[in-house]
Amino acid sequence: MRTLLRILLPFTVICMATLAQAQTGDAKRGEYVLATGGCVACHTAEKGGAPLAGGRELKTDFGSFFTPNITPDPETGIGNWSDEDFLKALRDGVSPSGGHYYPSFPYTSYTRMTEADVLDLKAYLDSIPAVKNVVPDHDLPFPFNIRMSMIGWRLLFFDDSPFEPDPTKSAEWNRGAYLVTGPGHCGECHTPRNILGGLNTDLALSGNKNGPEGDSVPNITPDPGGIGDWSKDDIVSALEIGLLPDGDFLGGAMTDVIEDNTGKLTPEDRDAIATYLTSLKPIASNDR
Ligand code: HEC
Ligand code: HEC
Nearest to 108 by CA among 57, 69, 161: 161
Asked if the model's pLDDT at residue 88 lies above 70, the reply is: yes
Residues 110, 91 contacting (CB under 8 angstroms): yes
**Nearest alpha carbon, ligand 1 atom 2:** 42
Pocket, ligand 2, Cβ cutoff 6 A: 180, 184-186, 188-190, 211-212, 215, 217-218, 220, 227, 235, 238-239, 244, 250-254, 257, 261-262, 273
CA 277 to chain centre: 19
pLDDT (tens digit, 9 = 90+) per residue, 113-145? 999 999 999 999 999 999 999 999 999 999 889
Asked if the model's pLDDT at residue 148 lies above 80, the reply is: yes
Question: Is ligand 1 within 6 A of the CB of residue 42?
Answer: yes
Q: Quick one: which ligand is closest to 87's CA? A: 1
Q: How far is the CA of 256 from the centre of ligand 2 (A)?
A: 10
Asked if the model's pLDDT at residue 3 lies above 60, the reply is: no
pLDDT (tens digit, 9 = 90+) per residue, 208-243? 999 988 899 999 999 999 999 999 999 999 999 999
**Nearest alpha carbon, ligand 2 atom 9:** 254
Q: Quick one: which ligand is closest to 112's CA? A: 1
Q: For residues 36 and 270, give the distance between their C-alpha atoms in angstroms, rounded to a whole number.
A: 10
- The pLDDT score that the predictor gives to residue 96 is 98
Q: How far is the CA of 214 from the centre of ligand 2 (A)?
A: 14
Nearest to 192 by CA among 282, 101, 288: 288
Q: For residues 17 and 33, give the distance between their C-alpha atoms in angstroms, rounded to a whole number.
A: 28
Q: For residues 185 and 104, give the distance between their C-alpha atoms in angstroms, rounded to a whole number.
A: 12
Sequence-ordered list of residues with C-beta below 8 angstroms from that of 204, at least 6 positions apart, any chain:
187, 191, 221, 280, 283
**Nearest alpha carbon, ligand 1 atom 34:** 39
Question: Is ligand 1 within 6 A of the CB of residue 44?
Answer: no
Q: For residues 283 and 286, give the distance between their C-alpha atoms in angstroms, rounded to a whole number.
A: 10
Q: Which residues of 250-281 are buried (b: 16+ CB within 10 A; e: fewer)?
A: beeebebbbebbbebbeeebbbbbbbbbbebe
- The pLDDT score that the predictor gives to residue 244 is 97
Q: For residues 94 and 83, give the distance between their C-alpha atoms in angstroms, rounded to a whole number.
A: 13
Residues 158, 247 contacting (CB under 8 angstroms): no
- The pLDDT score that the predictor gives to residue 6 is 53
Residues 50, 69 contacting (CB under 8 angstroms): no
Q: How far is the CA of 258 from the centre of ligand 2 (A)?
A: 9
Q: How far is the CA of 15 from the centre of ligand 2 (A)?
A: 48
